[in-house]
């Protein structure tokens, strides 16, 4: 198991806790902490971008806020959670020519993979 998976799992648990906290209070502190957790999860594992969509759904379906507040909270959430990841991907592209870093070529062809599947 890779060490980043443990940290990612912890961040996902914190996401669920603060997501519930945000849905109850709908205040800026809960929103900021939720956004920060999502941003850190995206840095830990790129699959953390799924939490961005989950956070957006949580904000949009929150019953404690009107549409103007939901729109403002959505903008704040997206800025805090997406901007650091976007800057990191641009950095990767400038350094190695790929957004997510270099990848090794597979030793198996598509046909060999399909044959192993059957």
Residue 57's Cβ-side half-sphere holds a number of Cα atoms within 13 Å equal to 6
Q: What is the pTM of this model?
A: 0.82
- Give the pLDDT score at 71: 94
Kind plus residue range of the DSSP H or E element containing 101:
none
List pLDDT tens digits, range 49-107: 999 999 999 999 988 888 999 999 999 999 999 999 999 999 999 998 888 877 788 88
Closest by CA position to 42, among listed 72, 9, 79, 81: 81
Residue 42: count other Cβ atoms within 10 Å of its Cβ.
Answer: 24
Q: How many angstroms separate the first and last alpha carbons of the chain?
A: 28
C-alpha–C-alpha distance, residues 114 and 34, integer Å: 41
Residue 25: count other Cβ atoms within 10 Å of its Cβ.
Answer: 13
- Comparing 44 with 103, the larger pLDDT belongs to 44
The 3-state DSSP class for residue 63 equals coil
Closest by CA position to 36, among listed 70, 74, 81: 81
């Amino acid at each position: 198991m890779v060490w980043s998976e443990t940290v990612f799992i912890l961040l996902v648990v914190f996401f669920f806790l603060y997501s519930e906290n945000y849905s109850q209070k709908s205040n800026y502190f809960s929103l900021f902490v939720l956004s920060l957790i999502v941003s850190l999860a995206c840095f830990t594992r790129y699959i953390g971008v799924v939490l961005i969509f989950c956070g957006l759904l949580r904000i949009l379906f929150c019953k404690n806020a009107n549409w103007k507040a939901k729109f403002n909270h959505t903008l704040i959430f997206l800025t805090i959670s997406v901007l650091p990841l976007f800057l990191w991907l641009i950095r990767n592209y400038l350094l190695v020519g790929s957004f997510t870093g270099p990848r090794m070529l597979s030793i198996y062809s598509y046909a060999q993979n399909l044959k192993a599947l059957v």
